[in-house]
Each structure stands twice: as C-alpha cells, then as structure tokens.
Amino acid sequence: MTKYLKTADQDWYKQRLVRIAFCVAGTFCLIFLRLFYLQVINGEELRRLSENNCIRLQSTDPSRGMIFDRNGIRLVDNRPAFDLNIVLKDAKSVEQTVKKLSNYINVPESELMSKIENDKTVSSYKPILLKKDIGRDTLAAIEVRKYDLPGVVVDVKPRRHYIERQTAAHLIGYLSEINANELNSGEYPGYTVGDYIGKFGIEKVFESFLQGTRGGRQVEVNVMGQVVRILKTVDAQPGKNLYLTIDLRVQKKAEALLKDVAGAVAAMDPQTGQILALASSPSFDQNIFVDGMSHEQWDALISNPLRPLENKVIQGEYPPASTFKIITAIAGLEEGVIDKDTTLYCPGYYKYGNRVYRCWKAAGHGSVNVIKALAESCDVFFYQVGQKLGIERLSMYAIASGLGSPTGIDLDHEAAGLIPTKEWKKRRTGVAWQGGETLSVAIGQGYDLATPLQMLVFASAVANGGKLLKPSILKSVYSPEGSVILESKTQLVGKLPVSKQTLEIIKEGLKEVVNNPKGTAWIAHVEGLDISGKTGTAQVVGRSIEHGLSEEKLSHRLKSHAWFVAYAPSDDPKIAVSVMIEHGGHGSSAAAPIAREIIKTYFGQDENSEPDKLKVAGHQ
Amino acid sequence: MIDRRFVKHFDWGLLGLTFLIVAMGLLTLYSAVTSSTAGPQKILYFKQLVWYCIGLAAMIFPLFINYKLLDRWAPVIYAMCMLLLLYVLFFGKYVAGARRWIMIGPVSIQPSELAKIAVIIILARYYSKHADIGGLNLRELFTPFVLAIIPFILIVKQPDLGTGMLLLLIAGSMTVFAKIERRSLLCIITSCTITVPLVWFFLKGYQKRRILTFLDPERDPLGAGYHIIQSKIAIGSGMISGKGFLKGTQNALAFLPEQHTDFIFSVLAEEWGFIGAFFLLCLFLIFIIWGLNIAYRCREPFGTFIAVGVTSMIFWQVFINIAMTMGLMPIVGVTLPFISYGGSSVITTMICVGLLLNISMRRFLAE
C-alpha cells in the first residue's frame, strides 16, 4: 500500500529537474569565471608568451655509460660534440644569417642552404641541423658573434668516443642512428628519431644498461629564439658503467700480433670463464660509425674479402684440424679402445679400403702411444682410433665437449659449428656415411667445423679439470655514482665426458707438445712458463694428399688455416688461449708463436710490459 | 506513422541549436587541420563532414519509430553492446597502446561510445520502474550498479579511463536524479572513501602521474605539464576578441597536442577569444537546459530518464573536456561533443539528439 503512495510521479521529477538545472548553471559559472581569468585577467601575459611561442621544450641527451677493462682502464667514453643548428622562424632573414654564418665558419653558403631546403618540411620552430660536430674553433667564432646571428643555435651533445682505435672493436661494437624498422618494432620504447643505439657487440647487447634516461627543460626564449629563462629542469640520467672482463694489455698485444693477417685470438680464465682478450682481424675503427662515414669507407668495409666486420672469434667456422685429436684421444681412452700404453705403428700412411691416407710426416712417426701421438700430432694413430670408435661415438664425444652448438656468450651472431653424424649426412646429402670419412673427422678435417671460441672453451675445460664454462665478457656493472649493480658469476654449462685419469694422460700429452723438442709446438716453449697446447693445420682445399705440396709452396688463398689452443700453467691454469690464422699455413709456425706471446704478456714476461705500473693506474 | 502531430510538435529549436553548434565545430576543426603542416591533416575535416552526414541519417531515421520501443529492447541492446566491448578487448585494432576500435572493412567503430547509449537506455528502463519518492535503497541499487560496472570494467581494460569515468558519471547522474535513500547514500559515501585508495592502487603508472600532475603540474614539465601550459597559453592569448579565424599561432605551430580532438577548445578560444568561447559555452548551456526541459515536459518516466541520461552525457563531456583544457582537471581523453574530431563520437551524439527529438515530439501521445 505504501509503495503506491511513494511511487514517483512526474511532478516529483519536475521538482528534481529544476534543482538539477540550477546545479548545471552553477557549474557553468565556474567555467565562465576560469575563462575570464585566463583570457581577460591574464590575457596579455599569455598573449605575450604565445607570440613566438616563448615557452619551449628542450631535451637533453643522457650521457651513455662508459666501458672499462677489468682493471678500470677506460675504453669507451663520451666527448662533448657541438652541433650547429638554425631555427628558421627566429632567423630574421634566413639568407642574411646564412651569409654571415658562411663567412664566419668558412662553409660555402650553398652547402648550408641545401641542408635547410632538405629539412624544410617541418615546423619552422624545429631546429635544422646545419653541421655536426663543429670544432672548438668554429664554436668560438660563432659564440662571440651570437647577437649577429639570430636563430643560430649550438647544441651540445655527448658523442661516443672509442679511445683505443681498433682495439676490441668486434667485442665492444659500435653505435649508429636508430632506423625506422627498429623504432616500429616495439623493442625500443621511449626512443625517437635521431637517437643512437648500439648496433653490434656489447654496445648492442647491453644497451639497456648503457642507455640513460633522457632529460629536458622548459625554457622561455626571446624574439630571437635565445633562451632567457629556464623554467623547469628534469635532469637526464647517465647510463650505467660497464667493466668488461678483458685485460687491455693482453687485448692490445693480441691486436698487434694479428696486425697483418686475417684471424682470431681469444683468451680466457679457465677457472671463471671470463674472457681476457677477444680479437678479430682485420679490425675497423668504431669511431667512423659514430662520426659518420663516406660511401667509400663503407664500401671498403663491406667488400673487403677479409671481412673486417665479421667477428671471427664467434662467427668464423673452420675445420678444427689436429686440435680435434684431443677429443679423439679422450674418446679412445674413455671407450677403452686404447689405454695409456697402447702403441700403434705409423709408417707415414694408412690403408683403408682402397685408399691411402697419409700422415703429415711422410716418413712416419714409428711406434707411438697416445701421449707421443698428441705431442707429435700423428695422423695415422688417430685414423686408427677414429676408425675403431666409429663416427657416432666420435661425434657424441665432440658434442659433449661443447662443439656443434653455440657457447652462449653474450654476443650476437654466434655460429654453432658443425659435428657430423650419419643421420645428418644422410639428411644433408642423401648419401650414406662412408667409413673413410670417419678417419677425416678423427683428425678434425672433413665435415667438422668449429669456432675459435668453442675451441677456447674446450681447451679451458681440459685445463680446469673438465668444466665447460659459459664465456663471460661482462665483469661488473656500476651505477654512475659508483655503486655495484651487478657482478658476474661463473656459469657451468657442462662437463667434459672424461675421467680424472684420462684427463691426466691428455694433459701430459699436451704438455709434451710444447715442452718436448720433438713436439709440434716446441716453438712456443718458454723457460719458466709451463705452457701446454695443441697445434692444428686445417686444409682449405681438398687437394689430393698424394701431391704432397708443402705449405710454403701454395698460393696464399690455398694455404691451410693455422690453429693453436693452449693453456698455462698446466697445474692450476690461469689462462687459456685459442688462436686461428686464416691461410696461415702450419699451426706450429703461424699460430703457436702468437699464443706464446699472449701468455708471456699475461704473466708480465714480455719486453714491453710493466705489469705492476699498469695494474695500479686506472684501478678503481 | 508520420503523424501530422509529430511534425507540429517537432522541436525545430533544438535542431537549429544543434546545427549552430555543429557549424562552430566544423569551422574550428577546419582551422585546426589546415593551419599547420606538421599537425593533423586536412582529410580529417572531410571525414568529419561525412560522419555528420551519416550522423544526420542516424538522427532522423529513428524518429519514425516510437522511442518507447527501446524500453522493450533495452536488454538486447545492452547485451549486444557488452559483447562488442568484450570482442574489442580480444580482437580490436591495437592503436597507441590501446584496443578501442573494431574494424569492419574501411570503417572503425568504437564500442565504448555505443556502450554509453546502451547504459542510458537500460538504466532508464530500470529506474522508470523502480524509482520512488523515498529514494532507492541499497538492494534496489544493486542491479543498476552491476549494469554500470560491467561496461566500466571492460572499457577501463582497453585501457580508456576517460570514457569509463564518463560512463560512471552518466550512470551516477541518472541515479542521483532517481534519488537515493538517505541511509543508503551514507553507506555509499563511506564505501567510496574506502574504495578510492584501493582504486588508486590499481591505476596504471601514467594515469597516476596524470592525476598527480594535476595536483602539482610541476611534476611533469616535459609531458603533461607542458601540454597544459601550452593549452592555457592558447586560451589566454585569445584575449577578448581572439586572434582571428585561421590565425591561431599556437595551433599553427602544432604546439597543442591533439588539437583536433582533446584540445580543440583551445584552438577555438585562441582564435575567437572570450567572445567566441563564451558564446559557445552559452550554446552548450542552452542545449543542456533544453534537454532538461524535454525531460520536464515528458509525461512518462522512461522518456524522462532517457532525456536526463543523454543530457548528463553532454554535460559531463563538455565540463570535463573544457576544464581539462583550462588546467582545472587532469588530461583524461574525453572529447568535446559536436566539436572534436571523431566518427564514433559524432554518430553517438547525433543519435542522442535524435532521442531527445523523439521524446519531445511524442510527448502528447497517450500512454
């Protein structure tokens, strides 16, 4: 009953509507008042500010994080660069201003005008870049005549500076302007046109650490476009500083040793996996990517047959040659095909099927056991071990030793190498595996492919007792104020398929390689340093072994690639090295001496080093 | 169906008022798109003209149908809109970090705009049946609350906080008009004071920042703070008589972001000054009062509620958008009806005008 009495009716609605109307009118009064306040009371002041759009935004680029070596020596920093801009709206009479400018800085008028014409489509308040990176002299010339040059603005921007030219270029990488694809991909939020980003190497991989945050400020400018008042500032945040694992001393030595050849050198601490040096030759000057390069320079880089832009340490895939014998030896011992004392006879050749496989030493090595076979790199010994093992077992040990897949280093474009299996060959070529091919694989020829980094990780594993470590290139990350953000940790990725006893035998063999006058790397022997290693000579052309042409007589393109992997000292090793020289000839003559010098430098035994002094300077 | 009485009672005044506002809007839009090479392009102006033609049809054709039909079809309309909102969340075109549009061939529809009408209709249906003088209690308010909160959540998830907030304001206005029981009102107010901090917790970073920027614009001098300052300069620099048609320097230099949508009022105020801006605001005020008058003269509750809902929609959009351009409110992306560029908005607003005309011309029909 009461519900009926309470039912709303139109009269009740009408009452409420009247009340609402008053509320609405009241709200509008507020709006009118505010409008009046802005347009009438503050009108003049706001009109003034709108003229010439006095309130503008300027953005400040963040300072990119610096890069140091493991001891705190600076490798990459930023230097101030001065860019010359013109704001058309402020330059009263653009032609006059350009004319004056051209006189003051000795740049032809036509050049400046063409730059203006090219960029003219945008708002006339946007600064147009006339010249990048004017020197301090030009800057001085402009600054003193500032009042005669309305609309001319000099912008200070931090520019990337690679201090040591062509040192660790492939590792550190370079910057370049972000392109349209990258901007649209969504992987770079917050970046705009004109930003520089890392495109290669560490600059790219650790972009998020290195890039700081952009800042800016609200400024008031006068009729000539010059800042008269700074209203508000948001500081740019500099990027974080990276300390790499490399040792600059060793790195520079590696670069120097590779100067006239094409190849790769990499060195690592076998206990932690930290990369001590990573050099690829030929190299390039990273600064040209930042400063801007000519077409000729770019063409020269791209068309150089020695591929300077390629990081051969991780991208170069070569047959491992005799360095692979270490794996064959491990497999043979572990599978019981041979033991420490098993001897096999090498007359300089080996008959298999209806083919003759030669040993590199035409006269043969005579009776060898596994240690001597490693020391003198006897092919025939390993042909036989390989044959007995068969390709499947051989490949299994190779894959378990880290070959055939990337090491996982924090760099782009790492190649995986190749370890063939019966199934792989059938799939790839349609032809079944031939027994003779196993023999080639056993001595690291045939289908085998490995990168210098993979061999380095493997050699380190042999050195440290069987641990396959992930190569790390970043030692620590520091905030700009100096507090630690990240410290790298040793990462174990696998274990060699080898027992302690077997490893001892192997290591003895590798020691003999260098320390026995009959070892293939006797040249690398250094009094007082206990170096172990293995040479390798990878044939490039499948030339008939019958011809027996000596390396020296071959034209350069046909010369074999030279390998050498090493570590020192054999007990408690501190450094492992991997060297690969393209078309270097014999591993013993071309690669081993380089490894020797690297190791000497590391232990402070080369003529040029003053180890203590270097360690103190720049240490943070 | 075309009764002579309809023509006699047709509200030509409202139609004329609408055309006047639309005309001002088109002129301002023309200026906003032509004056700068770097800003929005001229084609938008022509697109808007096309939208208005379609909008005109959307306004006129339903006039042949009695609006009371909506009462019966309200649940269906509402359900379809909710489905569209759901659809856009999963299959909508992804633009600038949000999924707000559904593509049908060359045309894009914004379901959140349609949702506004759907909510007005379904709430009108509910309140016309349940309102009483003592006010609605919590139990009676539960259904409308759910009806409003579902689209709100779906819209905010797009994310589109502005339209979501608008939806709640429309629903709230209709509810307040239907009257809330005093005791229940107290309950609601206390629970709001609890939920507001909770909602704060769930807001996205940029939304929190926008609100904080309003409270202290100094906080974001390079982004939102800068937009507000430029907008105030634009408005203020109009002074009393404005800079003249097509002569607005702020908009010519594309310093006003979104000058054809969010900040179009600033363009108008800069070019036509206090006189022009005041005139437009008066037109809007008259329009709203006119809408309330239609509600006043309507003889049955359903039509009254629809008129109130539609009018509140226009009111809140005008208020929020203009307050925003003048630096009184955070930037939430609510556009100015009839003036801002936007196809879905134009269609929705014209449909709403059509509803008002419909209600007004049938007010003498027997129940």
Would you kindly state where each structural domain of chain A is located, as residue ranges?
56-77+157-244, 248-299+308-616
Question: How many pairs of residues across A and B have Cβ atoms under 8 Å apart?
Answer: 148
Assign A2 a pLDDT band (cuts: 50, 70, 90). very low
The percent of chain B in helix, strand and coil, each rounded to the nearest 5, is 70, 5, 25
Q: Which two tokens stand for residue A90?
A: 């402020």
Q: How far apart are CA B218 and CA A232, in angstroms?
A: 8
Q: How far apart are CA B81 and CA B115, in angstroms?
A: 6
- The fold for domain A248-299+308-616 equals Beta-lactamase (3.40.710)
Residue among A447, A618, A414, A436 nearest A538 (CA): A447
Q: How far apart are CA B50 and CA B81, in angstroms?
A: 24
A26-30, A580-584, B69-73, B329-333: least confidently modelled range: B329-333
In the numeric block, the tokens 């609100």 are attached to B211
Q: How far apart are CA B203 and CA B145, in angstroms?
A: 21
Contact A578, A593 (CB under 8 A): no
**Alpha-carbon gap: A237 to the closest alpha carbon of chain B (Å):** 15
**Which contacts qualify for A503-506: CB closer than 8 Å, 24 or more apart?**
A503/A462, A503/A465, A503/A466, A505/A329, A505/A333, A505/A340, A505/A370, A505/A371, A506/A326, A506/A329, A506/A330, A506/A333, A506/A374, A506/A462
Predicted-complex ipTM score: 0.87
Residue among B276, B277, B229, B273 nearest B255 (CA): B229
pLDDT at B169: 94
Residue among A81, A76, A84 nearest A102 (CA): A84
Is any Cβ of chain A less than 8 angstroms from the Cβ of B283?
no
Q: How far apart are CA B135 and CA B127, in angstroms?
A: 11
Assign A81 a pLDDT band (cuts: 50, 70, 90). confident
pLDDT at A620: 33
Domain assignment present for residue B307? The answer is: yes
Contact A176, A289 (CB under 8 A): yes
> What is the rounded average pLDDT for all residues in chain A?
86
pLDDT at A171: 94
pLDDT at A137: 83
pLDDT at A163: 92
pLDDT at B37: 55
Residue A244 has pLDDT above 70, yes or no: yes
* Chain B contact set for A13 (CB, 8 A): 177, 295-296, 301, 304
Q: Which of A280, A283, A322, A488 is catalytic?
A: A322
Domain assignment present for residue B367? The answer is: no
Q: CA B21, B265, B44, A184 torsion: positive or negative? A: negative
Residue by residue, pLDDT tens for chain B (367 residues) are 566 777 777 888 899 999 999 999 998 888 887 765 555 577 788 888 888 999 999 998 888 888 888 888 999 999 999 998 888 888 877 766 677 777 777 777 888 899 999 999 999 999 988 887 778 888 888 889 999 999 999 998 888 888 999 999 999 999 999 888 888 888 888 988 888 888 888 888 777 876 776 566 567 777 777 888 888 888 888 888 888 887 766 655 556 667 678 888 988 998 898 999 999 999 999 999 999 999 998 888 899 999 999 999 999 999 999 998 888 877 777 889 999 988 888 999 999 999 999 999 888 775 4
Q: Do A35 and B269 touch (CB under 8 A)?
A: yes
Domain assignment present for residue B129? The answer is: yes
Write the CB contacts of A98 (distance below 8 Å, at least 6 apart in sequence): A86, A91, A109, A112, A113, A116
Domain assignment present for residue B366? The answer is: no
Is residue A322 annotated as a catalytic residue, yes or no?
yes
Q: What is the mean pLDDT of residues A371-390?
A: 93
Domain assignment present for residue B214? The answer is: yes
Q: Which two tokens stand for residue B138?
A: 């919590």
Q: How far apart are CA B152 and CA B146, in angstroms?
A: 10
pLDDT at A606: 67
Residue A241 has pLDDT above 90, yes or no: yes
Is any Cβ of chain A less than 8 angstroms from the Cβ of B130?
no
Q: Strand order in B93-95's β-sheet?
A: B93-95, B98-104, B107-109
Is any Cβ of chain A less than 8 angstroms from the Cβ of B236?
yes
pLDDT at A607: 61
CATH of region A56-77+157-244, choose from 3.40.50.300, 3.90.1310.10, 3.90.1150.10, 3.60.15.10: 3.90.1310.10
Residue A614 has pLDDT above 60, yes or no: no
The strand pairing partners of A568, in sequence order, are A575
Is any Cβ of chain A less than 8 angstroms from the Cβ of B222?
yes
* Chain A contact set for B235 (CB, 8 A): 35, 38-39, 46
Is any Cβ of chain A less than 8 angstroms from the Cβ of B336?
no
Is any Cβ of chain A less than 8 angstroms from the Cβ of B150?
no
Contact B359, B4 (CB under 8 A): no
Query: Residue B5 corresponds to which amino acid?
Result: R
Q: How far apart are CA B305 and CA B126, in angstroms?
A: 10
Is any Cβ of chain B less than 8 angstroms from the Cβ of A55?
yes
Q: Which two tokens stand for residue B204?
A: 């996205």
- For A13, which residue in chain B has the nearest alpha carbon? B296
Q: Which two tokens stand for residue B191?
A: 């629970």
Q: Do B236 and A42 touch (CB under 8 A)?
A: yes
In the numeric block, the tokens 């905010």 are attached to B156
Length of chain B: 367
In the numeric block, the tokens 């100094």 are attached to B218
**Alpha-carbon gap: A288 to the closest alpha carbon of chain B (Å):** 33
**Which contacts qualify for A361-365: CB closer than 8 Å, 24 or more apart?**
A362/A548
For A237-292, the three-class secondary structure string (H helix, E strand, C coil) is ECCCEEEECCCHHHHHHHHHHCCCCCEEEEEECCCCCEEEEEEEECCCCCHHHHHC
Q: Produce one character per residue of A56-87: b if its CB has 16 or more CB atoms within 10 Å, e if not.
A: bebebbbbbbbbbbbbebebbbbeebbbbbbb
Q: CA A229, A231, A235, A236 torsion: positive or negative? A: negative
Q: How far apart are CA A140 and CA A130, in angstroms?
A: 17
DSSP conformation class of B4: H
Q: Are strands B93-95 and A275-281 parallel, antiparallel or unpaired?
A: unpaired
Q: Do A24 and B254 touch (CB under 8 A)?
A: no
Domain count, chain B: 1
Q: How far apart are CA B6 and CA B8, in angstroms?
A: 5
pLDDT at A118: 75
Q: How far apart are CA A215 and CA A59, in angstroms?
A: 6
Assign A324 a pLDDT band (cuts: 50, 70, 90). very high
Residue A271: alpha-carbon gap to chain centroid: 22
Q: How far apart are CA B80 and CA B193, in angstroms?
A: 33
Range of B88's domain?
4-361
Contact B294, B359 (CB under 8 A): yes
Cβ count within 10 A of residue A42: 18
Q: What is the mean pLDDT of residues A152-162?
A: 85
Is any Cβ of chain B less than 8 angstroms from the Cβ of A3?
yes
Q: What would you report as the CA-atom Rg of chain A, rounded to the nearest whole angstrom?
A: 34
Assign A122 a pLDDT band (cuts: 50, 70, 90). low
Q: Same CATH topology for A56-77+157-244 and A248-299+308-616?
A: no
* Chain A contact set for B222 (CB, 8 A): 57, 59, 216-218, 234
Residue among B212, B247, B211, B217 nearest B232 (CA): B217
Q: What is the mean pLDDT of residues A18-39?
A: 92
The secondary element (H helix, E strand) that includes residue A229 is: strand A227-234
* Chain B contact set for A17 (CB, 8 A): 177, 292, 295-296, 308
Q: Which two tokens stand for residue A217?
A: 């400020």
Which of B222, B274, B299 has its CB closest to that of A35?
A: B274
Cβ count within 10 A of residue A115: 18
Q: Of residues A517 and B42, which shows the higher confidence score?
A: A517
The answer, as to whether pTM is greater than 0.90, is no
